[in-house]
Structure 1
Amino acid sequence: MADDREPSHGPPATSARPITLGASLKLYLDVDASVAWARSLAEIARAHAAVLAGEVRLFILPSLPALDRVIAAVADAPIAVGAQDLFWSDRGAYTGAVSGVDLARLGCRYVEVGHAERRHVFGEDDEIIRRKLAAAVRTGLTPVLCVGEEERGNAALAASTCIAQIESATADAGDLSDLVVAYEPEWAIGQAEPASSAHVTEVVALVRSHLAQRGLEDASVIYGGSAKPGLLSTLGSSVDGLFLGRFAHDPHAFASIIDEAAGIR
């Protein structure tokens, strides 16, 4: 079992790679609140030197009904917008489905695939996740692939689980020149504290090594799972950024995390 010692190993993030900070609103905020939140973040991003310089990359994932208004709210700011889900087919008799083609035309640049809640609440299995990731790549969206172990345990076993999920999800994806892997141990999602820095560092190092062996060394590997202000300073360059949930709902907290990211770069 991982302990709470400071990380002492693992390759640093590539110096040329920006720190990536993403945030998902899940279904916490209604449309008006989502737009107000996005406008606050846009003001922060427009005034932050590290974001303007491309050293810190930002993306946000509002709920589907809020997408068009959020995209408009951040249109002149260095913030990319994405969707929390997509369907595996672009067109057809699929009631309630959302096409990646339509998301891209709307102005989305990212789409989340494989989150633990999609697996457990909506019954998505490895095949569905594989088909959705292939659709994301096919329609020009950058997939944010969520991976992570269910139970708390040692880092080597956790990394093995993540690597198996990556292999399954990307089996039919084709060109993966642009990929974000979000390491989110399921046992840390929604908890008061994230996984320990030593655990995250070791898991991410093993995942990054596997990606490099596949020729995907340019992929970003970020951490999610109760990620909050202060965590990135602890993890340092052992990760490429954070995938934020409820702790990013406060724009001031998000701003402090951007400052942390700028300090690392």
Structure 2
Amino acid sequence: MPTPASTPASASVLAPAAEPVTLGVSLKMYFGHHETLNWARRIAALADRHPAVTGGTVRLFVLPAFPAIVPVTGVLAGSGVAVGSQDIATEDAGPYTGEVSGASLKEIGCAYAEVGHAERRRLYGEGDTVVAAKTAAALRNGLTPVLCVGELDRAPSDEAARRTVAEAERLLHGLTGPVVLAYEPQWAIGAPEPASADHITTVCAALTDWLAAHPAHRGSTVIYGGSAGPGLLTRLGPAVGGLFLGRFAHDTAAVERILDEAVALTGAVA
């Protein structure tokens, strides 16, 4: 399974044009089981023929619901698309009814685990202590955390950057290993439009600089989520390492347009 490359932090986060663009897709709980598998088959066919994936321009991963992880991993085998989970337990084993451990996720073929999404925080009361513990669980089990950070309410770009960097610093304190930092301003999730390009690039640049100053997280990258869809990658340019997609990725034609953007973007700056 492809995972973030072990390259110097300055190379991986300060020169995203030289690194693959990272595109992640979380399916949340929108699809039923068979619908998920059919979607995965379409993604596999797209990945098999698209130069962004076959040529290594894009690092693509998908996060289906727990019951679909094993069959989706089979569908995507050999396509260059990695699979991950939308959540992870804080513990690796024990009497934790309904939880799924990082050890089990790794065993069934996951490469990524999403942690700290705003919906988990809002609906299930997951605070920083739980999010940090889940991030640690992912790392110790060889999974790349897709760690969601971002301000709750609208704020000026500089203030949002300060808050988000402070959040990342709290959650990653004492931890070692590559992460995908998904900047998702909570006010933009599910909104008609994403945050402005200037706002996104300001915050992502601050996160990038913070990662570059912390070699413990060598190989990390910063991506943007929050109503991300076709056209946004072009507007952001090489200042952001990629996108974290939600409902706009339900249509595989939209995913293809974003892959086309990645090819054009990396070709323009190569």
- Please confirm whether the aligned pair reaches a TM-score higher than 0.5, indicating the same fold: yes
Q: CA deviation at 1:77?
A: 0.6
Q: Residues of 1 paired with 2:226 and 2:205: CA distance?
A: 17
The corresponding residue for 1:60 is 62
3-state secondary structure, aligned to 1:42: helix
The corresponding residue for 2:118 is 116
The corresponding residue for 1:264 is 265
Counterpart mapping for 1:87-166 below 5 A: 87-166=89-168
The corresponding residue for 1:248 is 249
Q: CA deviation at 1:15?
A: 3.1
Q: Residues of 1 paired with 2:16 and 2:144: CA distance?
A: 19
Question: CA offsets per residue over residues 111-149 of structure 1, 9 Å max, x none?
Answer: 000100010001001000010000000000011000000
Q: Residues of 2 paired with 1:232 and 1:226: CA distance?
A: 12
Q: CA deviation at 1:55?
A: 1.4
3-state secondary structure, aligned to 2:19: coil
Comparing 152-161 with 195-204, greater Cα deviation is found at 152-161
The letter of the residue matching 1:46 is D
Q: CA deviation at 1:50?
A: 2.2
Q: Residues of 2 paired with 1:198 and 1:214: CA distance?
A: 25
Question: CA offsets per residue over residues 67-122 of structure 1, 9 Å max, x none?
Answer: 11111111121100000001011101111110100000100000000100010001
The corresponding residue for 2:52 is 50
Q: Residues of 2 paired with 1:240 and 1:255: CA distance?
A: 18
Does the aligned pair in 1 maintain the 2:73–2:83 contact within 8 Å? Answer: yes
Q: Residues of 1 paired with 2:205 and 2:15: CA distance?
A: 9
**Structure 2: which 5+ runs fail to align?**
1-12
The corresponding residue for 1:199 is 199
Q: TM-score, normalised by structure 1?
A: 0.93
Q: CA deviation at 1:217?
A: 5.6
Aligned sequence identity (%) = 49
State the aligned residue count: 253
The CA RMSD measured in Å over matched residues stands at 1.2
Question: CA offsets per residue over residues 22-70 of structure 1, 9 Å max, x none?
Answer: 0000000011000100110000001012211211110000011111111
Does the aligned pair in 2 maintain the 1:13–1:239 contact within 8 Å? Answer: no
The structure carrying a bigger helix percent of its residues is 2
Q: Residues of 2 paired with 1:134 and 1:126: CA distance?
A: 12
**Structure 1: which 5+ runs fail to align?**
1-10
Q: Which runs of 4+ in 1 moved over 4 A?
A: none
Q: CA deviation at 1:16?
A: 2.4
The corresponding residue for 2:40 is 38
Q: TM-score, normalised by structure 2?
A: 0.91
The letter of the residue matching 1:190 is G
Q: CA deviation at 1:170?
A: 1.2
The letter of the residue matching 2:24 is G
Does the aligned pair in 1 maintain the 2:14–2:208 contact within 8 Å? Answer: no
Does the aligned pair in 1 maintain the 2:52–2:263 contact within 8 Å? Answer: yes
The corresponding residue for 2:7 is none
Q: CA deviation at 1:12?
A: 6.1
